[in-house]
A and B are shown apart, each in its own frame.
Chain A
Amino acid sequence: MTKPLLEIRNLQAAYGGIQAVKGIDLYIAPGELVALLGSNGAGKTTTLKTLAGLLHPASGQIQYDGKSLHNIAAHQRVAMGMALVPEGRGVFARLTVQENLQMGAYSRDDKKEIATDLARMYELFPRLAERRDQLAGTLSGGEQQMVAMARALMSRPRLLMLDEPSMGLAPLMVQKIFETIRDIAALGMSILLVEQNARLALQVAQRGYVMESGAITLSGEAGELLGSDAVQQAYLGS
């Protein structure tokens, strides 16, 4: 096995006084798309926030690219190649689409390359090109999700973390977003995808973890999980 890009050992984290993550282990190999599934309140978002540095773990270790992330602030992790598209997207509603994307490149100072990437994002999301001077707050939910993803990609991440990218979107838009995730993964980026929509997530992922009340109860190849009775019953509704 190649050395994992991200490795979590016995991670515990509390959120709002509640222990939301109770000692989980997880790894992501370079170039891998890993799904983290579970119902509402299972601790998925807390896990992502801890990985991004927005929350301090209560205990446990996070290794990224062979280095411990202990005491590394959220903004420094972006420069190390970690990007999180947060739950609810977190676009800057009063900044234009273009300014949002420029914010994504905040940690970079290679102006020429930033301009190239900006053009690339508008190719990837032509809708955003049409709306580049519009305030992001005036866009539809799906378009805002595109802004959030494009913005994260502008930091040239090696590990992209997505928190419920399908939430609140129309089915057609969900499909479009997942196609994009597949495209990005094909470029060799490592992706950690948190989803409630287990079927969709497992269709694009190589491996998956199932989380329940703060602990990982099941993990394996995506195909295996899709076929497993436990996942079928709990998340696929059949």
Chain B
Amino acid sequence: MEIFLQQIINGLVQGSVYALVALGYTMVYGILGLINFAHGEVVMIGAMLALSALTSLLGMGAPPALALLLSIGLAMLGCMVLGYSIERIAYRPLRHAPRLAPLITAIGVSIVLQNLAMMIWGREYHSFPQMIANHSHTFGGAIINDIQIIVFVLALAIMAGLMVVVHRTRLGRAMRAVAENQHAAQLMGVDINRVISITFMLGSALAAVAGMMISASYGLAHYYMGFLLGLKAFTAAVLGGIGNLRGAMLGGLLLGLIESLGAGYIGDFTGGFFGSNYQDVFAFFVLIIVLVFRPSGLLGERLAERA
């Protein structure tokens, strides 16, 4: 039972990070019908930027809390500029091209960003500075630490904030209008290029926070970390129903749980033949199952629909 509870906690925390990244995929898909495969690299750049900023700020003797806030802010800002530039340079010229063209371009952007990060930050793992004592709390026999609590609560707060923006503001209305019918949105006076840029910037800001969370949870950041993470978050978005914001959040949390429970119990179920190192297999198993049996995802309404 303790193991079960422990896996649930780990899964929800990890899943909340997947959800943040999945939102970036799903927002862009909703508005452009494009799968932005470079999004995982934006998460990685966010983590790297945050880590560099944090290390140098701490080195200059800044108080930890201030350094942390500043570096999150800087990483978000940097990723927003990056997200804006990716759309402007790589995707906008292909807006009316066949759908395969931007997809291949997205993979290209992803490779460019990885190599760029490797040139700037090198091939080695960067460790996240230990700034505060990371207390552990026992909870029904399971353990949860401060970082996990912060990650989970912050992720939920950000998601709630995003829902308010999308469903309660003029900008959010415009985003939903552009997602549904670009021509009609223009006829309302909406500058669709501006709305698309803002969508990329919002998604990238979420990615920066997610990158920071991951490097804080694992204590590490690496130029290649965005690849697998991006694929998993994409899986989460597909699981929830790509294009659907609530779906991305649900898919993220579910995927986190599936992975964590799967990794926790696979040893027992296979008599020790497979171990928890097979954790990554579950995400792609889920992806295949969803694509075969329910391509529109859990909350996706029929195929042509978007959110």
Contact = CB atoms under 8 A, between A and B. Distances in A.
Interface of A: 52-54, 73-76, 78-79, 83-84, 86, 90-95, 99, 102-104, 106-107, 151-152, 155
B294 interface: no
A84 B187 contact: yes
Given A93-B180, A95-B180, A102-B173, A107 B189 contact: yes
Contacts of A54: 183, 186-187
Contacts of B184: 86, 90-92
Given A75-B189, A79-B189, A93-B180, 20 more contacts: A53-B186, A54-B183, A54-B187, A73-B191, A75-B191, A76-B189, A86-B183, A91-B184, A92-B181, A92-B184, A95-B176, A102-B173, A103-B174, A103-B185, A103-B188, A103-B190, A104-B188, A106-B170, A107-B189, A151-B188
- If over half of B's interface residues share one DSSP class (helix, strand or loop), that class is named, otherwise mixed; here it is helix
B174 A92 contact: no
Contacts of A155: 188-189
17 contacts: A53-B186, A54-B187, A75-B188, A83-B187, A86-B183, A90-B187, A93-B180, A94-B176, A94-B180, A95-B173, A95-B176, A102-B173, A103-B173, A103-B174, A103-B177, A107-B189, A151-B188
A75 B192 contact: yes
A52 B187 contact: yes
Contacts of B170: 102, 106
A90 B176 contact: no
Q: Which of the listed residues A76, A91, A102, A106 has the most CB atoms from chain B within 10 Å of its own CB?
A: A106
Contacts of B307: 94
Nearest to B178: A92
A25 B185 CA distance: 28
Q: Which of the listed residues A53, A79, A90, A93 has the most CB atoms from chain B within 10 Å of its own CB?
A: A90
Contact of A95 (B177, B183, B187, B192): B177
Nearest to A84: B187
A85 B177 CA distance: 15
Given A94-B307, A99-B173, A106 B190 contact: yes
Contact of B189 (A90, A91, A106): A106
A106 B189 CA distance: 6
A147 to B, nearest CB: 11
Q: Which of the listed residues A53, A74, A84, A107 has the most CB atoms from chain B within 10 Å of its own CB?
A: A74
Contacts of A52: 187
A54 B188 CA distance: 12
A28 B177 CA distance: 31
A164 to B, nearest CB: 15
A99 B187 CA distance: 15
Interface string B165-201: 0000010011011001101111111111000000000
Contacts of B190: 75, 103, 106
Interface in B186-240: 186-192
Contact of B188 (A53, A76, A94, A107): A107
Q: Which of the listed residues B170, B173, B184, B188 has the most CB atoms from chain A within 10 Å of its own CB?
A: B188
B183 A106 contact: no
Contacts of A79: 189
B183 A90 contact: yes
A123 B183 CA distance: 28
**Which A-B residue pairs are the 8 nearest by beta carbons?**
A107-B189, A78-B189, A90-B184, A74-B186, A103-B188, A106-B188, A106-B189, A75-B191
Nearest to B179: A94
B196 to A, nearest CB: 13
A155 B191 CA distance: 15
Contacts of B181: 90, 92
A99 B180 CA distance: 13
A78 B188 contact: yes
Nearest to A155: B189
Q: Which of the listed residues A103, A151, A152 has the most CB atoms from chain B within 10 Å of its own CB?
A: A103
Contacts of A151: 188
Contacts of A102: 170, 173
B184 to A, nearest CB: 4
Nearest to A85: B187
Contacts of A74: 186-187
A106 B174 CA distance: 8
Contacts of B186: 53-54, 73-75
Nearest to A53: B186
Interface string B290-307: 000000000000000001
B187 A78 contact: yes
Contacts of B191: 73, 75
